Every structure is written in C-alpha cells, then in structure tokens.
Amino acid sequence: MRFTIFAHGSRTGWLVLALLVLLIMLPLAAVVLQVLLPGFFFGSRQIGDLSLLGEMFRRPLWYLSLKNTLVLGLGTTALGTVLGAALATARSRWSFPGARLLDGAVWLLIVTPSFILAQGWVMFASSDGLAESWFGWHWVHDAVFTPAGLIAVMSLSKFPFAYLAVYSALEWKMDRLGEAGRLNGGTAWTVWRTIEAPLLLPAYCSGALLVFMDTVGDFGLPASIAAVFRFPTLPYSIYSALYTSPIRFDMAGVLSFYLVVLIALAMSVQFWALRRARFDFLGGRATRAKAERPRKGALLLASGNLLLLAIAVGIPLGANLLTSVTRPGKSGSSAFTLEHYRELFVEGGQLTDALLHSLSIAAFAAIVGLFVGLLVAYVLTYSKFKLKRAIDVISLVSLAVPGVVLGIGYIFIWNQAWLERIGLLLYGKPAILVLAGVAGAIPVITRIVTGAMAKVPQGLLSAAQMQGASFSRRVRTILLPLLRDALLSAALAAFGASVFDLAMTSILFPPNFMTLPVVINKAFEDLDFGYAAAATLTGGTAVVALILVMERIFKPKEARRPSR
C-alpha cells in the first residue's frame, strides 16, 4: 500500500476498483464476450449474431419474460419499500409488544432463500395444498397465482432489504430538526413528510433499489412456482437457456444484457432523485434512536405487526414446517413423523457436510466482503477518486446480474487451461465458491453501509486528518463507531444471503462438494418435499442461531433495547 504512483487519495480507489473488476466485471465481461465472440474461451474466433438483441421483442417467450420481470419488479419495489420503510420507522420510534419478533422475522426472511419461501407458498396455495386441505379455502390458489398475488408474495419476502436500509439510517437522529418543526406548529405527520423523510431519501432509495434488484434478478420464485403456474421471468429464461442442450450462452447473454439495462435504468432514477442534494445532517447533538412507548395505539401496532408476520413468515415457513413433520397418507390424511429429520443425518452426513461447506464459505465471504464493502462505501462517499461512478456501477451490477450468469462467467474465467500451470485453475475447487461468495456479498454490504455512511459528514474526517490522524486511524476511531450497527447488519445480511445462494453454487459446486442449497434443491427437484423442508429448517435454524449470537456479541451495550 505504500507506493506513490497514484495520488494520495486515490490509492484506496484503485485497490477497490481492482478488486471489483477481478471479482465481478471480469466474469461478466466474459459472458458478454461470449455473446459477441462465441467460442472465444475455447480457442475459436468468430463473430456472434447480434440480431439476437432485437429478438427480445419478437420471441413470445422472451417478450413475456421481460414483461413479467417488469411487472413483478415495479410492483414489488413499490409495495415492498413502503412496507419495509413503514415498519422500520415504527420499530425505531416506538416500542410495542412483539417488536422483537419483527427483528427476528426480518433476519429469517433474509436468510431464507426465495426458492424456499416460494416453495412454502406453493405447498400452501397449490390446488392440493394446505390451504385447500386444512382450511378448505378454494380461493387461495386463484388469488396467489396471479401477477398481483405474486407481487404480494414477493413483497412479503423482499421488504427486509428496505427495512434494514431504513432502520440502520435511523440509528442516529437529530431530534432538534423535528422539534423545530413541531414548535412551528407542524403535526407529527407534516414533520415526517417535510423534514424526516426527505433527509432519509438516500436510505429509502437504496432500500428501494435493493428490493428492485433482488426482485428482478430473483430466480427462486419463478423456478419454484413453475411447477404449478407458468410465470417466466428474465432470470428464469436465462437459466432455461443455460440449462438446456444445446446450451445457449448467446441467448443467456442477450437476456442478461436486458436485465442489466433494467438495473441501469433503476440506478439512474436513483441518481436523478438524489442529485445535487446533501444528506450529511448529523451534528454534535445527534442522539442514538431509542424506541419509546407510544401514548396510544401500542395494541394496534402489536396486532398489525403480528398479522403481517403471520402472513410473511408464518405461511411459507409454517408450510415447510408442516411438510417436514408429516407424511402424506392415503386419501388426503397426514400422519405426524420425524422420519424426514432422521433421513438428514443417517446418510453418511450428506447434509452435515453441505451445511458446513455453506457456513464456512458464507462466513469467509461476509468477512472479506465487509472489508471490501467498507472500502467501496468510503471511496463512494468521501474520496475524489475519478472513477468513483464506475465503482458504484460495478458494485450494483453484481446485484443486478443473477448468480446464474455470474457463475457461468466464473467458469469461463477460472477454467482456462493456462491457469493450471500457475496453480490458479479454481474451477472445480472449493476456492471458486469462496470467490463467488465474496462477489455476492459485496453489493449487499456496500448498499447498506453507503446508506449509513451518507450521514457522517466529511468534516468529521477532515478534522481528524488535520490533527494528523492516518487513514486507518480515521476509519477506526470515527467511521467504525458511528457505523457499527450498519456494518453488523450488512455483514450478517451478506452471511445469511450467502449461505443459501442457490444460483451460484449450483453452477459452481465442485464435484462431490455439495452445498446446503444444492442439497435442498435436489430434494425439491425429486419432489422429496419432506426431506427438503427438513433440511431447510435445520440449515435455517443453524444460520439464525449464529446470527443471533453474533448480534449479541457485537451490539454495543447501549444500543441493546430492553427485551419485552
């Protein structure tokens, strides 16, 4: 780190850029190159067929995929962000019975992969599902398996992204701004609308963007519901192009291209919304947010919260739970059994190994991702690095690109014969999963940390620099304490998401090095719902337990709220 080729402030910038290019852009470029020059990585040099780009609007399947993706993405972004932001605001302002449940549920939803949630909904709402057989609700099937129903299902599983972004931004607040508004006769609503909400715009935006990107890139939901309802989306069609023979890298590339365009559009909307504004409103009088008892309506809050959680978490996970402990008998009856759980551990430790693999990869990815993500956020927020915008775009792109595509890119890059000579042929080795995990962790972490960092004024750091504090000391003594919660949330979110990353691991898992999501998904494919549900719950429980332990260890004592 001690070379002087680059301007002083740009060193970190170049380091970050190099890391991001290696982990994200290079594999992605490989996929694009494959569209332009099919066979480039296999030693042939021929120009590809670019007319495919126009096929998007001619081929019924593609056009429908694009339309579905847009409808689902926009709908979920609107509903999910409103839901997440409202919950985060209520949670940080008021204490009410059951608030702790919301914290747990948010994590649970984050670590639960969409394909598991979607499968839970399928088990609940399909024509011979639990809603039908236990409650006799015939309407559920027709309500859920429509675009609007899927938007609702998706919002209920993606709102935690918006929740976390907003909640961590509410950690420190300037009460005086709001108090000034109230003194001048504004109602609480007016104050929120005209003072608090505009100041939190970056957090809302990064929350909305996270929800949008996670939704349009989501592969789990369309894949799971495909069994009962045809709803092709871009990621699903990309997967279909890769998982068919002859494999169509060119088509996957074209569809990925459109997906990336969608994300780029969403990002420009965000840039436009935040243009020329400053949001570094924290000052010396900032106080840590403390939830207080509302004067009235605590009961309403509590019951609303419970109802929401019952639907968002109760239905999909409850369906999994029921499926994992019942054995469908003849004639629609079911018997209680623990046999699915027994199966998990009798067969030579298949699940134990897979779980250990996934946990260790995710832990490593979260730690390395935290380091890189913090640097990325720092460069984005404070540095004058001239390629700042590129860094932002890259960190977002990796969220935008479905793991399936990035996974294929990783194969192109890391499976070239010449790497064997220098010992870097990582394809087919566990190391590639670690790399992919880090790539997947960076964007999540960057988004959450950037949202929180936006509130720390440059002045604080400049002042320290004037006193002669080194870069590492400035980060250590100013940024880390102020961002501690956000960093913890970010690392744990990345960890949880990484454990269950199905798309990447199913493409990249080395022979006989199974990961948890692969084991679960294979069981689903074989329609062995009981085994899959039992494996899901076992794995999920392990992850949640780890996260709670980490929160316990690293949460600053004054931030721990009295549990209710």
CA 369 remoteness from chain centre:
13
Among 334, 337, 416, 465, binds other proteins (CB under 8 A): 416
Q: Report the C-alpha gap between 343 and 345 in whole angstroms.
A: 6
Q: 101 vs 542, which CB is nearer to other proteins?
A: 542
Among 94, 137, 364, 471, binds other proteins (CB under 8 A): 364
Q: 42 vs 272, which CB is nearer to other proteins?
A: 42
Which residues make beta-bridge pairs with 288? 172
Of the candidates 149, 150, 145, 146, the residue with the CA atom closest to the CA atom of residue 126 = 145
Q: Report the C-alpha gap between 178 and 200 in whole angstroms.
A: 13
Token pair of 108, please? 């649970």
Residue window 511-550: x/- pattern of binding to other proteins, with contact defined by CB under 8 A: xxxx----x--xx-xxxx--x------------------x
Beta-carbon count within 10 A of 525 CB: 11
Tell me if 562 contacts other proteins by CB under 8 A. Answer: no
- In the window 439-478, what residues touch other proteins (CB under 8 A)? 476-477
SS (H, E, C) 107-174: HHHHHCCHHHHHHHHHHHHCCCCHHHHHHCCCHHHHHHCCHHHHHHHHHHHHHHHHHHHHHHHCCEEC
Q: 344 vs 394, which CB is nearer to other proteins?
A: 344
Q: Report the C-alpha gap between 539 and 47 in whole angstroms.
A: 46
Q: From the CB of 238, what's the least distance to other proteins, in Å?
A: 12
* Secondary-structure percent of the chain, ordered helix, strand, coil, rounded to 5: 75, 0, 25
Tell me if 37 contacts other proteins by CB under 8 A. Answer: no
Query: Which range in 181-189, 199-207, 296-304, 356-364 contacts other proteins by CB under 8 A?
Result: 356-364
Tell me if 480 contacts other proteins by CB under 8 A. Answer: yes
Buried b / exposed e along 309-337 (16+ C-beta atoms within 10 A): beebbbbbbebbbbbbbbeeeeeeeeeee
Tell me if 427 contacts other proteins by CB under 8 A. Answer: yes
Tell me if 497 contacts other proteins by CB under 8 A. Answer: no
- In the window 307-336, what residues touch other proteins (CB under 8 A)? 330
Q: From the CB of 254, what's the least distance to other proteins, in Å?
A: 13
Is residue 217 left, alpha or beta, with left meaning phi > 0 and alpha meaning psi from -120 to 50? alpha
Q: From the CB of 363, what's the least distance to other proteins, in Å?
A: 4
Q: From the CB of 170, what's the least distance to other proteins, in Å?
A: 23
Tell me if 134 contacts other proteins by CB under 8 A. Answer: no
β-pair type (287-288, 326-328):
unpaired
- In the window 113-132, what residues touch other proteins (CB under 8 A)? 126-128
Of the candidates 62, 395, 238, the residue with the CA atom closest to the CA atom of residue 387 = 395
Identity at 10, one-letter amino acid code = S
Which residues make beta-bridge pairs with 172? 288
Tell me if 411 contacts other proteins by CB under 8 A. Answer: yes
Q: Report the C-alpha gap between 55 and 51 in whole angstroms.
A: 7
Q: From the CB of 119, what's the least distance to other proteins, in Å?
A: 13
Q: 230 vs 384, which CB is nearer to other proteins?
A: 230
Q: 16 vs 404, which CB is nearer to other proteins?
A: 404
Q: 208 vs 488, which CB is nearer to other proteins?
A: 488
Among 193, 420, 424, 559, binds other proteins (CB under 8 A): 420
Residue window 371-400: x/- pattern of binding to other proteins, with contact defined by CB under 8 A: ------------------------------
Query: Which range in 187-195, 270-278, 386-394, 417-425 contacts other proteins by CB under 8 A?
Result: 417-425
Q: Report the C-alpha gap between 172 and 456 in whole angstroms.
A: 10
Q: Report the C-alpha gap between 236 and 68 in whole angstroms.
A: 11
Among 209, 238, 312, 359, binds other proteins (CB under 8 A): 359
Of the candidates 115, 132, 91, the residue with the CA atom closest to the CA atom of residue 308 = 91
Q: 118 vs 408, which CB is nearer to other proteins?
A: 408
Number of continuous H segments (helices) and E segments (strands) in the chain: 29, 4
Residue window 208-227: x/- pattern of binding to other proteins, with contact defined by CB under 8 A: ------------------xx
Q: From the CB of 514, what's the least distance to other proteins, in Å?
A: 5
Please count the residues of this chain forming the interface with other proteins, following the rule CB under 8 A: 76
- In the window 163-202, what residues touch other proteins (CB under 8 A)? none
Among 16, 99, 493, 507, binds other proteins (CB under 8 A): 507
- In the window 42-101, what residues touch other proteins (CB under 8 A)? 42-43, 59-61, 64
Q: From the CB of 146, what's the least distance to other proteins, in Å?
A: 16
Q: From the CB of 425, what's the least distance to other proteins, in Å?
A: 7
- In the window 239-268, what residues touch other proteins (CB under 8 A)? 240, 242-249
For residue 281, the SS3 value is: coil
Q: 142 vs 526, which CB is nearer to other proteins?
A: 526
For residue 453, the SS3 value is: helix
Q: Report the C-alpha gap between 291 and 301 in whole angstroms.
A: 13
Among 393, 429, 464, 542, binds other proteins (CB under 8 A): 429
